[in-house]
Structure 1
Amino acid sequence: CYETTWTSDHDDVTATNCFPFSGAEDWFGGAEMYDQSWPINSWYKEMSFYLSGDMFSDPQQFGSVLERYWLSSQGVALYVEPRIPLHVSVEKQQICFKGAYIEPYKPKKSPAEPILKYTVCLSDSPQRAHAAILQKYFKRPTSIPDLRMIRSPIWSTWARYKVGINETVVLQYADEILKYNFSNSQIEIDDGYEKNYGDHTFSVTKFPDASGMIKKLHNSGFRVTTWVTPFVNLFSENYAAGDENGYFVMNGGTNTSGRVAWWNGIGSSIDFTNPKACDWLVELNLLEKVRSTYGVDSFKFDAGEINYITAVTDYRTHETLDNLGSYTQYYSECAARLGTQIELRASWNNQHLPVFVRMMDKDSNWSKAKGIKTLVSTALTFSMLGYPYILPDMIGETRHTLTIAFSKFINWSHIFDSSPLPEKELYIRWLEVTAFLPSMQFSICPWQYDDETVKLAQYYVQLHENVVFDEIVSSSQKYVNGDEDLGPIRPIWWATSNDRKAFKYDDEFMVGDKYLVAPILDNATRSRDIYLPGPLWRDGV
C-alpha cells in the first residue's frame, strides 16, 4: 500500500487527483445512492462534498451509508483519510478526489493539516486488495446481532398505515399476522405514535393504554419496537430540557440551539458528540423510561445524515469534528448502547457495531430509480463497505408517489390509505429477493392481495428460516472471527478472481459460499439467464 499526501499553508488551496476507469476495469464501493449501480462505472455524479445525505430530500446527494473506500476488479483499492475535507465526482469514466476547506467543511485548524491524503493498495486480485483495506482501516463486527431478527420477519406499521396508527390498529395488525400463520421477530410501531416528535412517549389519545397493548402483544408472542429520530421538535415535552442543558447542535453565531427543518416539522438535532446528550436520550431520561414505562423491547433509529447538521446556520457541535461523518458515528454508537436488537439508517465508520443497517426506503417500481433493481446492488455495496447485517426495508416498499420534502404539507394517512397497493408481481419478486438477505421485513401484507400471495409469502418465510438463516449465521460468524473477509452477502465474482464477466452482474449474489441467488427483477418475466462463475455448481434450493 502507498500513501499520498498533499499539503499547503493556505486554506484556499485545493488539491485534486483522478483515477481513470480503464476499459477492462470495474469499480465498486463508495456510498448508497438513489440509482445504485454495481459496478459504479456508469454513475454520473458531479463534484460534491462527500458526506451522507437524505436521498428523499435530494436524490443527487450521496446516501445515508458511505465510506471513503473504492475497489477495482484489477485489485486496486483506494481509501481516503477521514480528516480530509473530501469532495468526490464520478463522471467521464473516472473517479476524482478533491480536498478543499470550503463549506460545509470548517477551516483548517493548523497550516500543517493536509489538503488531500489517500492510500492506494495494489494486489493481484480484488479479494486480496479488499483484505488489505479491511485489516488496515476497518473493524469487524464484535458479534452477530439479534438472531431472532435474522430468522423471522419484522412487521412494521409504516408502509401500510403511515401515521394513521392507534391502539386498535396495532392490535388488529398483530391479530392478522397470527391469523395467517406468520412468524415474527417483532412488531415495529413506526411514525405516528407520539403526540409531538421527540416525546418518545405514546399519545394518550391514540394509545390510551399503551402498556396494556404491549402486554397483549408480548402475550401473543411479539416483541415491540418503536421509532426514534435524532430530532426533538419545538413543541415536544423534551425540547426545553435539551435546550437548557445544551444537548442540541448549536447555532454558532447566536450561541443558541440550532433549528432544522426535517420531514416532520422544525426542531433541533441532538448533539451526539456530547456524551451527556447521549446519556440523556438513552439512559437518564427518554428511551430507558420508554422501556420501563411501557415494556418496549427495542428501537428503530431513523435519520442521522450529515445534511441535517450542515443545515444549521454556522453549526457547532460539543466536540469539534475533524470529519463531519463522525456525527453519524456518535449517533450510531449511542444507539448501539441499547443492544443488538436495533436498526440504523445512517452509518459511517461503524462496522464494529453488531446491529442492522437498513437500506433507505425504496420506491415501488421496476426500475433502477430507487426501485427493485437497486435491491441487490445496494446489498452488495453495504457488504463491501463492511456492513454485513443488511436490512432491506419493507417488502414491496412504501408506495411513495410524492417527494418527501413536501411531507409537512401532506396528510400522510389520507393519501396512502387511498393509494393503490404495489402491484402484485412486483411485491412477489421483492419478497423473493428479501428471503435470501439477512433479514425480512413486511408492512404491506400478503393477505392484502390474495391466497396465492399468502402461500408464496409463507413459503419464502419458511425458506428463509429453514435454509437461508443457517448460512447467514454461519458466514457471519466466520466474518466476525476473521476467517472470511466479506460478510454473508457477496458478489458472484468473490468466488473467482479471473472471470471478467462476473464483475458485470448486478442482479445476482451469493449467500456465503453455499448459495448463488439469481432473482427475476423484470416485469412480466418468467425466466432468465443465470451466470455461474467458476467450474462446478449444483442445483440445490
Structure 2
Amino acid sequence: MLSWRDRPVAIAVSLATLTLGAFAAVPAAGAAPTAGPRVTHDAHAVTLTVPASAGAPGYSVKVATGSLTITTRRGGHTVLATAGGTTGGLRFRSGGAWQRATKVTHWSWKNGVLRLDAATTRDGVTAEALITPKPDRYALSWNVKGGSADQLGLAFDLKSAGHWYGHGEAATSKGGPTTDQPWPLDAGNVHDSAFGPASYEMVDPFWYTSSATGLLVDTGEVMDVAINDANDGLGRFTVASGGTYNATVFVESDPFQVYRDHTGVVGKPAKSDATYTQFEKPLWNSWAQFYTKVDQTKLLDYAQKLHDNGIPGHTIQLDDRWESNYGNLTFNTKTFPDARAMSDKIHAMGYDFGLWVTLWINLDSTNYQYAVDHGYLLKDKADPTKPCTVSWWNGTAGIVDLANPDAKAWYVANIKKLMSTYGVDGFKFDTRFFDDTCAPDKGYQRADYQRLGAQLADQFDLQGAGIRVHWSGSQQTGFVIRQVDKGTGWNSLAASVAQNLAISTIGYPFVETDMIGGSLSQPAPAKEVLIRWAQSASLMPLMYSSTSPAGTNDPKTGKPVPYDQETIDRYRDAVQAHGRLAPYIWDQVKHSVATGDPIMRPLFFDFPRDAGAYTVSDEWMLGPAVLAAPKLSSGDTRDVFLPTGKWFDVNRGTVVQGPKILRGYRVPLDVTPAFVDVKAAGADKAIRALRRTGAAPTAG
C-alpha cells in the first residue's frame, strides 16, 4: 500500500449527477465480464465489482437481497457495511415513525447504474436506490415511493470500517465541542441534531475511516448525525428532507487518498487569508483576558505589558463590549473615551489594531429600527412580513441580510467608517450569517449564506482570527479557522488538539486552537495549563492568544490573577520557537494552496502502515517533517509513539529509529517534545528552528 507521499494528487471530480428513470430488465445470469464494472448475482445477493486500475485499488459492493444491506469490500475484506437488523441501512421517517428498506424486489444494471427496488416496513411504500460506480468511489442515491417521508438516512455498522474521523467539531455527551472531542469519533458518543450549514459549529458532511473509506453526504439541509450514540456501535447520518438522499462513498488504499478524493469534490483553498506575519506571531485578543469587563485603560495596559515582556504578537484585537449597544457599530465613550488615541498608542507599540464585530443587531440598538425600516434584516420563517429575531449570549437580535445588496452595502459602509475614524486595521467576525429560524431570500438556500458571509469577510483583514464558515465548498475560501470556545482545563486542551485534527482533515488546513488557555468564562487557567497550551499551539499552523502570561483576570470578579516569571519565560519560549519555525510552516501553507493537503494532520496520513498511529490523539504531524508530541496533561512524563522512520529528537539531540514507543519520556515544564523525520522534505529547516542540543543528523 502506497503512502500519500508516493502518490499523485487526485484529479478533481464533481459529485455524480443522478437521474431517476426507466431501466431495462434484469440482465441474464452468466453474462461475460468486461474490463469495467460488472454485476453478478446469486440467490442471496447482487454484487457490483469494480476492478483495480491505475491509482485505484478496486472494490466490490454486495447488496443482500433478503433484507437490504450494502457491504463494501476491498482486497477480499469488508471495509464498510450498512447496519442490519431493526435499524436498517436505508432508513426513513414516515407518519412520525422510523421505517426501513427490506427485501430487494427487483434490480437492474444498465448504462453503468445499478438500480435496486425494495419493499419497506411501511405498507404500500417502496424504496429505490441507485449505485453508480467510479474507479475509486460510488455514488449512492435513494428515495421512497408510494408514500411520504420527512427524513431520510443511512446507517452504518461502525466496526465494519474500523475507526471513524472527519465531521468537524463534535457535540458529545461529555461536553463536546467545548471540553471534549473524541479521536477517533467512535471512541466517544457523538450526537448533533442540528448538524447543518447554519450551525455555529465548524462541521462538514464528510467522514472517513481507518479502512480507507469515506462518506460525503450531498445536502444543504440540516442533518441529525449520531456516531456511537449511547454506545450503540452505529453511525447514523440523517437528512431532514423527504426528497432524494445523495451520497458518495469513497474506497481508497489509505485514508489520505480519501481526503484527497474529498478535496477533489469540494475544492482546495484558493489562497491563504493570513499573511506570513500572522503565521509567524500570535494574535492577541482581549476576550479571555477581560471578557466583558474591558475598557480603554485595561486594554492599553494589556498591550504594554506584553510589549515590555518581549512577548511577540502582530495585533491587539479588542473583542466584545466596546460598542455603545450591539449593532450600533459605535464606541461606548464611557469606557472608551478616546478610541483613536488608544488605537494610535497600540500602533506605536508595533501592533495592528483590530475589532470584534457581528451582523447581529440587538433590538435595543439605535440601528435596529433603521435596519427594519429599510428591509435590511433577514425575515422570519413563519411570518416573512416581519424580521426574524434570534436569541444569543448578548440578548435578542435581528441579522443583517447579506443577500440584500443594499443591506450589505450599508453594513460595509459602517465598518469602513470605523476603520477610517479609529485606525482599525481589521476585524474578527463573530456569530453566524444565518439562523434556521429565518427565511432565506428568494433564490437562496441556507448554505448560500456561508458563501455570502465569506465574501463579506474577505474584503477585510481577519488578522489571524479567521472566520467560522463551513459546509462543502467553503474549503476554497482559504480562511484561518478558529475553534469554538474552550474551557480552561486539561480536558479542553486535549480537545483543542483532536478538534484541530478533525477540522484540518475535512479540508480547512489553516487551523488554530481556541484562545490559548481557553475562553469559556471559567476560572483563569492554571500556570501549567497555560504554558502547555502555548507549547502545543507553537507546533500548529497559527497561535491565537488572549490570556496574558504577565497576569490575567478572574472572569466573574474582574480581579487580577497573577502568574510568575516562569510563566512569562516559558510562554515567550513557545512563541519564539513558533516564530523560528515560521519559514517551514509557510512552505506548508504554499503547499496547501497548491494541493489542498492539510498542514496539521494525524500520524496515519503519513504512516498508514503503522497500526498504532490510528488511535494516537495527543500527537500530530506538522507538515511532512515535524512530529509534535507536547504534554497535554499534568505531570512531567509522557509516552511518545514514533512511526516508522528515523527521528531526530530536537530536545535531546539524538536519533531514534521507529516504529517505537518512548515510555516515560521526561517533559519538565521547559520541554516541548518534538521529533523531525530526517528524510522528509523540510527536515533541515525544522531542525534548525527547533533543535536545542546536539548536532543535526544526516539523512543517511
Q: Where on the TM-score scale, by shorter chain, does this alignment land: which range? A: 0.7 to 0.9
Deviates more, 1:347-356 or 1:124-133: 347-356
**CA-CA distance at 1:4 after TM superposition:** 1.2
CA contact (8 A) 1:89 1:96 kept: yes
Q: Contact 1:340/1:354 (CA < 8 Å) preserved in 2? A: no
Q: Decide which structure has the larger Cα Rg and report it.
A: 2
Q: CA RMSD in A?
A: 2.1
Of 529, 533, 539, 2:643 maps to: 533
Match of 1:59 in 2: none
* Structure 1 residue matching 2:249: 3-state secondary structure: strand
Q: 1:486 aligns with which of 576, 579, 597?
A: 597
Kindly report which structure 2 residues correspond to 1:104-123, keeping only aligned pairs within 5 A, or say none.
114-123=243-252
The 5 A counterparts of 1:184-195 are 184-195=313-324
**Between 437-446 and 82-91, the greater mean CA deviation after superposition:** 82-91
Partner of 2:362: 233
* 1:317, distance to aligned residue in structure 2 (A): 2.2
* Corresponding residue number in structure 2 for 1:334: 456
How far off its partner does 1:24 sit?
6.7
Report the alpha carbon displacement of residue 386 of structure 1 after superposing the two structures with TM: 1.1
Q: Is residue 2:415 matched to residue 1:287? A: yes
Return the TM-score normalized by structure 1.
0.86
Give 5+ residue unaligned stretches, structure 1.
55-62, 102-107, 109-113, 402-419
2:285 and 2:316 in contact (8 A); partners too: yes
Matched, 1:4 2:140: yes
Distance in 2, matches of 1:538 and 1:169, equals: 44
Determine whether 1:94 maps to 2:234: yes
**Aligned-partner SS, 2:588:** helix
Distance 1:451 1:98 in 2: 52
Q: Specify the code of the residue in structure 2 equivalent to 1:73.
A: S
Evaluate the alpha carbon distance shift between residue 45 and residue 442 of structure 1 in structure 2; reply closer, same or farther with a 3 A threshold: closer
How many residues get paired? 489
Correspondence for 2:131 = none
Match of 1:520, SS?
coil
Asked whether the 8 Å contact 1:471–1:511 carries over to 2, the reply is no
Give yes or no for the alignment of 1:142 onto 2:142.
no
SS of the residue aligned with 1:538?
Answer: strand
Deviations 1:105-139 (A, max 9, x none): xxx7xxxxx43110011111111121111112233
Alignment counterpart, residue 475 of structure 2, candidates 351, 355, 373: 351
Kindly state the Cα deviation for residue 52 of structure 1 after the two structures are TM-superposed.
Answer: 5.9
1:386 paired residue number = 507
Measured in 2, the distance between the counterparts of 1:31 and 1:11 equals: 32
Shift of 1:176: 1.0
Does the CA-based 8 Å contact 2:324-2:331 persist in structure 1?
yes
Q: Does 1:246 align with 2:370?
A: no
- Tell whether 2:253 aligns with 1:124: yes
Equivalent residue, structure 2, for 1:447: 550
- Please tell me the residue identity of whatever aligns with 2:181: Q
Q: CA separation of 1:144/1:321 partners in 2, compared to 1, >3 Å: closer, same or farther? A: closer
Shift of 1:287: 0.9
In 2: Cα distance, 1:517 partner to 1:155 partner: 23
1:28 corresponds to 2:165: yes
Q: Is the 8 A contact 1:332 1:347 kept in 2?
A: no
What SS does structure 2 have at the residue aligned with 1:516?
Answer: strand
Q: Alignment partner of 1:95: what SS?
A: strand
1:331/1:244 CA distance change after superposition, 3 Å = same
Take 1:319 and 1:303, find their aligned partners in 2: how far apart are those partners?
23
Q: CA deviation at 1:83?
A: 3.5
Question: Counterpart amino acid of 2:195?
Answer: Y
Q: Do the aligned residues in 2 keep the contact of 1:153 with 1:184 (CA within 8 Å)? A: yes
Quickly say closer, same or farther: Cα 1:207–1:15, change in 2 above 3 A: closer
Instruction: State the structure with bigger RCO (CA 8 A, min sep 6), 1 or 2.
Output: 1
After superposition, the Cα gap between the structure-2 partners of 1:144 and 1:157, relative to the gap in structure 1 and judged at 3 Å, is closer
Q: CA deviation at 1:85?
A: 5.0
Displacement of 1:442: 2.5
Higher fraction of helix:
1
Are positions 1:299 and 2:299 aligned together?
Answer: no
Matches within 5 A, 1:68-87: 68-84=205-221, 86-87=223-224
Aligned identity (percent) is 28
Equivalence map 1:361-510=2 (5 Å):
361-367=485-491, 371-398=492-519, 400-401=521-522, 420-448=523-551, 449-467=563-581, 469-482=582-595, 485-510=596-621
Post-superposition shift, 1:390? Answer: 1.3
CA distance in 2, matches of 1:52, 1:43: 23
* Equivalent pair of 1:272/1:331 in contact (CA under 8 Å): yes
Q: Report SS of the residue matched to 2:307.
A: helix
Alignment partner of 1:277: what SS? helix
1:407 maps to none
**Which residue of structure 2 aligns with residue 58 of structure 1?**
none
Match for residue 270 of structure 1 among 400, 414, 422: 400
AA paired with 2:205? R
Q: How far does residue 431 in structure 1 lie from its aligned partner after superposition?
A: 1.2
CA contact 2:202–2:469 (8 Å) conserved in 1: yes
Name the counterpart of 1:37: 182
Question: What one-letter code is carried by the residue in structure 2 that aligns with 1:120?
Answer: V
Q: Which position in structure 1 is the counterpart of 2:193?
A: 48
Q: Please give the secondary structure, in 1, of the residue aligned with 2:333.
A: coil
Which residue type is aligned with residue 451 of structure 1?
Q
Structure 2 length-normalised TM = 0.67
- Find the counterpart in structure 1 of residue 389 from structure 2: 259
Structure-2 separation of matches of 1:24 and 1:133: 18
Aligned to 1:412: none
Query: What is the CA–CA distance in structure 2 between the aligned matches of 1:235 and 1:248, rounded to whole Å?
Result: 15
2:360 touches 2:399 (CA, 8 Å); kept in 1? Answer: yes
Equivalent residue letter for 2:537: T
Residue 337 (structure 1) shift: 2.0
* Deviation readout 1:146-193 (Å, 9 max, x if unpaired): 222211111111112111222211221121111111221100101111
Deviation at 1:46, TM superposition (A): 4.4
User: Residues 192 and 225 of structure 2 are in contact (CA less than 8 Å); yes or no, is this contact kept in structure 1?
Assistant: yes
- 1:25 CA drift (Å): 1.0
Give the superposition deviation at 1:278.
2.4
Distance in 2 (CA, whole Å) between partners of 1:95 and 1:288 is 46
Answer yes or no: is 1:514 the counterpart of 2:625: yes
Are residues 176 and 528 of structure 1, via their aligned partners in 2, closer, same or farther at CA, if it must alter by over 3 Å?
same
Matched position secondary structure for 1:212: helix
Shift of the 329–193 alpha-carbon distance from structure 1 to 2, 3 Å rule, reads: same
Q: Could you say what secondary structure the match of 1:118 adopts?
A: strand
- Measured in 2, the distance between the counterparts of 1:64 and 1:20 equals 25
Is contact 2:197-2:220 (8 Å) kept? Answer: no
d(CA) in 2 for partners of 1:450 and 1:204? Answer: 34
Give the aligned residue type for 2:607: T
Counterparts of 1:325 and 1:539, CA distance in 2:
45
How many Å separate the matches in 2 of 1:133 and 1:473? 24
Deviates most, 326-335 or 224-233:
326-335
Looking at structure 2, the residues matched to 23 and 118 of structure 1 have their Cα atoms a distance apart, in angstroms, of 18
Q: Is the 8 A contact 1:303 1:346 kept in 2?
A: no
Matched-pair contact (CA < 8 Å) for 1:429–1:521? yes
Superposition deviation, residue 441 in structure 1: 2.5
Letter in 2 for 1:531: F
